[in-house]
Amino acid sequence: MQSDPLLDLLPGGPAAMPMLRELGSALIAFTPEKFETIHCEITEGLEQGQRALFYKIGSPQFPDESTTVANERVHQAATRFVQHVSPSQGTFPGLAFTTTMQKDGSWRHSMRFLTAA
């Protein structure tokens, strides 16, 4: 079986793809059905001296309905991905993850790492 060269370019390699799919599925289940575009920013910091993830989750169509609180499924999916690509505290650059509903009802996911300030 040949590897997919595009998956090899993914941060974290091919093993990261199911983690990103789960993050997308978790965000779709977590947010209101009316959200056709879901944007989630995940950053790393410290909370009570421990490594922690911080969230901004919302939709550009409904800017007043954003939240900084993720449910357990979203948090677990994000944690698995972050620990996979950045196992050491303080090394995660942050992630902008967007999923958009397509005309056929499927969802298209995209991601980019945030740049350091």
Rounded CA-CA distance 87/41 in Å is 19
**Each residue's pLDDT tens digit, 39-90:** 999 999 999 999 999 999 999 999 999 999 999 999 999 999 999 999 888 8
**Each residue's pLDDT tens digit, 76-115:** 999 999 999 998 888 899 999 999 999 999 999 999 999 7
Half-sphere exposure of 42 (CA within 13 A, CB side): 27
Q: Residue 97: which CATH number?
A: 3.30.500
Domain that holds residue 80: 17-113
Residue 5 lies in a domain: no
Closest to 93 measured CA to CA, from 114, 73, 72, 79: 114
| Alpha-carbon distances, residue 24 vs 5, 9, 92 (angstroms) | 22, 19, 19
Name residue 11's amino acid: P
Residue 11 lies in a domain: no
Domains contained in the chain, number: 1
Residue 1: pLDDT band with limits 50, 70, 90: very low
Residue 47 lies in a domain: yes
